[in-house]
Structure 1
């Protein structure tokens, strides 16, 4: 059990270091969709959906066909308690994934959409 806690603490520290490095990279003018996506995912994993939303939105602005970013952005909105926005994002993400042939992302977002819609229509 203690070993598991230590690994968890180490992963959190690693995520904090990753976040700091990526924020520094972006601040220095080396902004790109992958950095924003990675930063958004890290923020979401650390329980900061608002920070995740900001970075994932920017990732999509930099690369509008980034299906994985739509998936994560929808998840961030869902975690933030904004189901209607999550549904909107995942609907758009499904269209993007369909257009770009990213079938795995399409399947995942379709599944997430179905679960969220069922949960909020009950």
Structure 2
């Protein structure tokens, strides 16, 4: 494990369990190629904060990497809605591009 992942896990073990911590841990695990564990933390992040568009975006990337295309599309669709409601235009555009590419199979 990386020092960052160790520190984030330590915070989680201390009871600091919120969407931002889960997102950070999920992103760090994804970057470390531990996609299954990353997806688990990102699922928790979006449960805790359904309007967290960055967490939806990263969850979609994890699901796609795991071969769960339908789950990836679902995550990005929900992420687009969250981004739109929060006025996060760039996040919505990025996930829209990922959706189009995944639907085309490229």
Of structures 1 and 2, the one with the larger relative CO (CA 8 A, separation 6+) is 2
Structure 1-normalised TM-score?
0.83
Identify the residue that residue 57 of structure 1 maps to in structure 2.
43
Is 1:85 the counterpart of 2:71 in the alignment?
Answer: yes
Structure-2 separation of matches of 1:30 and 1:110: 32
Kindly tell me the number of residue pairs found equivalent between the two proteins: 106
The alignment partner of 1:104 has SS state of: helix
Is 1:119 the counterpart of 2:102 in the alignment?
Answer: no
Identify the residue that residue 74 of structure 1 maps to in structure 2.
60
Q: Which has the larger radius of gyration?
A: 1
- Aligned Cα RMSD in Å? 1.2
Q: Determine which of 24, 28, 40 is the counterpart of 1:42.
A: 28
Structure-2 separation of matches of 1:27 and 1:87: 32
Structure-1 separation of matches of 2:12 and 2:48: 13
Unpaired runs of 5+ in structure 2? none
Which aligned runs of 4 or more in structure 1 are off by greater than 3 angstroms? none
